[in-house]
Each structure stands twice: as C-alpha cells, then as structure tokens.
Amino acid sequence: MNDTPRPSEAFDRRMLEALVCPQTHSRLSYDAEKQELVSKKAGLAFPIRNGIPVMLVDEARVID
C-alpha cells in the first residue's frame, strides 16, 4: 500500500503562510512524512487529510 499522497491530495505549502495554531496562534511547521502540521509551542500535530489540514484541537495528536 502506497501512503504517498496523489498530486491532487498534496498539501499546498503556501497555506503555511496563512495558517496558525488554533490554540497558541503560533507558526506551524509541515511534516511531509507524517502529513501533519506541527505546533511545537502547543505540543500538537494537526493531521492533513486529502490535502486539507484539520485544524481542530480535538483532532490533533499530542507530541513530546
């Protein structure tokens, strides 16, 4: 099974300029391997599904 997103599902990195963490309002970094947007300040990783970031704290994964 290939988990690499298809071009139509790929995350547009230009969105990073407009998106911020919904909890801390800090900048996010993009983890292409895990398809997540990471807020180091909040310790959360927000999933990207079908090329769309899910910016809900309830959907985020807690990171160390």
pLDDT at 6: 55
Asked if the structure places residue 2 within a domain, the reply is no
Domain CATH code at residue 27: 2.20.25.10
Tokens describing residue 62: 């807690």
Please tell me the pTM assigned to this model: 0.82
- 2 pLDDT band, cuts 50/70/90, is low
Asked if the structure places residue 4 within a domain, the reply is no
Q: State which residues form the domain around 49.
A: 11-62
pLDDT tens-digit series, residues 4-53: 555 456 788 888 889 999 999 999 999 999 999 999 999 999 999 998 99
Asked if the structure places residue 6 within a domain, the reply is no
Instruction: Measure the CA–CA gap between 35 and 38, rounded to whole angstroms.
Output: 10
Strands in 1-64 per DSSP E: 29-31, 36-39, 44-49, 52-53, 61-62
